Amino acid sequence: MIYFDAAATTLQKPPQVKKALLYAMDHYASPGRGGHRPAMLASDAVYACRQELAALFEAKPEDIVFTMNATHALNLAIRSLVSAGDEVVISGFEHNAVWRPLNQIGAGVRIAGRRLFDPDDTIEGFRAAITENTKAVVCTHVSNVFGYVLPVEEIAALCREREVPLILDCSQSAGILPVSLRKLPAAFLCMPGHKSLYGPQGTGVLVCGHALSPLLAGGTGSLSERAQMPEVTPDAGEAGTHNVPGICALHEGVRFVRSVGLSQIAAHEKMLAQLLIAELEAMPGVRVFHGAAQTGVVSFLLEREDVEKTAARLSRQGFALRAGLHCAPAVHAWLGTLQSGAIRFSPGLYNTAQEMDDTALLLARLLQA
């Protein structure tokens, strides 16, 4: 199988990730739940992962809250800042992990910037949309559908100027692009552990620059004499037993990312995307979405064939690319692709130029059939 769906989850992981997961299952108990050796080892291992993540995102270890995934992190962040009836400004490129919590809360949503690969339009959109009533800005760093890199530094500066807290969805940037809690700054950074941080599924991270409101209440191994949840992070966001094997595996994934370097990872994925774009643009009847402000994620659609059918044909030949709306229907609505959807190419560090060439060659043959 040639796998080009890293924007959903990275399938190829460094071998040390699996090794760490299996070791933790055999040796570590629950952190903060006892003074015996397995519990103490678990506490040390979990803290070591916090330290690694804090170093990557320029935060403090106690700012790191472990979650199940990015959706969990976003729900924690949004519910810490937003109540029913509050005005919230979001970009035109958000995932349902942003839209649905805001809809469920009953927030009033204002959209900022809908033009693809146009940072100036995005900035001006936020400038116009943020008002004196805005309670929070929620913005993706990179579109999960089109790889558009939003101008988050400028958006963060605007939030500072207007004194509005910023929640940044780093689902498609964590492990690829530099993100600093301190430099932005942001109220919250939200991300999965299983994508470009190369951890396992079932892991996510919330980096906190703001007080956190608990989403779940329960045991934390701290202040157990109280009926109320602790107010401090990370305890306020980590009720119940930790996913210790997942956290240990995530630690190795983050160490791997830091050892390779973000710039090298981003350059490799961008190189593969540029090769594919060149091939696709030479094929008749193919519409490719690309621009200057883009990561390695590239989406395209076909004039003569349903994208789901094409993806299924690719899959039967051993090539994994995702087709559909990618849980971001609003983005497709702005671009007029809501009915068709798109096929998404999203490489990872383990993909090669030869795999990309093979994918393009097969796609060309399928279009001729």
Is residue 107 helix, strand or coil? coil
Q: Is 149 helix (H, G, I), strand (E, B) or coil?
A: strand
For the chain, 369 residues long, the average pLDDT of each consecutive 10-residue run is 97 98 97 92 98 98 98 98 98 98 98 96 98 98 98 98 98 98 97 98 98 91 83 92 98 98 98 98 95 97 92 97 97 94 98 97 89
Three-state DSSP state, 135: strand
CA distance 181 to 65: 14
Q: Is the CB of residue 296 less than 8 Å from the CB of residue 346?
A: yes
| Displacement of CA 164 from its chain's centroid (Å) | 22
Q: Among 229, 260, 291, which residue terminates a domain?
A: 260
Domain of 49, in residue numbers: 15-260
Q: Can you give the pLDDT at residue 12?
A: 97
Residue 123 three-state SS: helix
pLDDT at 221: 79
Global confidence as pTM: 0.97
Runs of H (alpha helix) within 230-335 = 244-260, 262-281, 307-316, 329-335
Q: Is residue 27 part of a domain?
A: yes
Question: Do 45 and 180 belong to one domain?
Answer: yes
Local structure of 230: helix, strand or coil: coil
The CATH code of the domain that includes 141 is 3.40.640.10
Residue 31 contacts by C-beta under 8 Å, 6 or more apart in sequence? Answer: 39, 42, 43, 45, 46, 47, 221, 242, 244
What is the pLDDT, as a whole number, of residue 169?
99
Q: What integer pLDDT is reported at residue 227 of this predicted model? A: 82
- Let me know whether 269 and 239 are in one domain: no
Q: What pLDDT, on a 0 to 100 scale, did the predictor assign at position 230? A: 84
